[in-house]
Amino acid sequence: MKADTRNLSVFAGSVCLVLLFPLFSKTTGVVFSTMLSAGVYSIAVLGMVIFMGYAGQPSLGHSAFMAIGAYTTAILTTRYGASPLAAMLIGILLCLLCGVFVGLPLLRLRGFYFAAGTLAFGLLVQGILVSWFGFTKGDSGIGGIPPFSFAGIDFGNRLSYYYLVWAVAVLLVLLSYNMLNSQVGRALIAIHGDEVAARSMGVNTGLWKMFAFLVSVAYAGISGSLLAHYLFFVSPSQFGVLLAAELIIMSLLAGGTGIHLVFWATILWRFLPELTALSGEWRSFFVGAAILVLLLVFPDGLQFLTSRRADYAPKPSSGAWVVEAREGEGKRAVE
């Protein structure tokens, strides 16, 4: 069975699970709530896979972009009577603007330095949410967020919102898959393999890294907005460093570049704490231990679901990807 066919089969299996899950779970139960939240977080994880897995840039600041999307939705819908869709779109726009503001200086950095810069941005946003009490209500948070509605359709029912969230997630996965199987994906893989070699071959590394970063922060904004309509409440504690670490773990579970594994990775991670009944400080311990286990024992995450032993043979050198990416840019220029 070819790799693409196996990947499609695994993705189709996750979609079938999502579609059939409500038939075997009460909508008022914890299990159903966990599955719904997995759909919300899978969108942010998808953005992390694109940016961290394909562009090769580690980020500890995407929880902050989720916060921007969530708080924009909360403030606009509760204080200014904006429609949920309009509030979400404005939240995405703010995430993109902040992404440009953060990305322009930080994307000049690589590795640890970039991660440290995004962590600083996350702490900055966290500080604003806590300290600006008159606007964000500080640690008290903002409640009374209305259910999501669109074109006269109210998604206040948990079952309808469940299918809405997962429909958005599936749509974004399909869009991302098509995008990453084009010149964009080839350029990002070239940058991930060897940024210096990619630049020397004429690939615009700064442009493509910024593009991947903005796509990922937009996805984080969508996830944050949907989270606000799911919980009907937002507070700074929901978007701390722990969430940033969890997003990284879920992207690692997806194998870094496993777009088709995003749903499985997110569902697995969201259910593990519930199955082990961990909370508080023990949850933080569990997150740290999980990162170590993933890095040392399962560096490819859930990729074994779609990979044969032969698939672990050495991959083509980064130079091959660079040439292919450069040829794609040349063809586009001719067209």
pLDDT tens digits along 271-301: 877 766 655 567 667 767 777 777 787 777 7
- SS3 for 192? helix
Positions of the chain with pLDDT lower than 50, given as ranges = 309-323, 325-326, 330-335
Which two tokens mark 315?
């991959």
Q: Evaluate whether 61 touches 55 at the Cβ level (below 8 Å).
A: no
pTM: 0.87
Q: Tell me, what's the pLDDT at 69? A: 96
Q: Tell me, what's the pLDDT at 310? A: 40
Q: Rounded to an integer, what distance in angstroms lies between the CA atom of residue 10 and that of residue 23?
A: 21
Q: How does DSSP classify residue 50?
A: I
Q: At what angle do helices 62-79 and 112-131 cross, to 10 degrees?
A: 30
Which two tokens mark 174?
């399909």
Q: Tell me, what's the pLDDT at 312? A: 38
Q: Evaluate whether 39 touches 173 at the Cβ level (below 8 Å).
A: no
Q: Tell me, what's the pLDDT at 194? A: 81
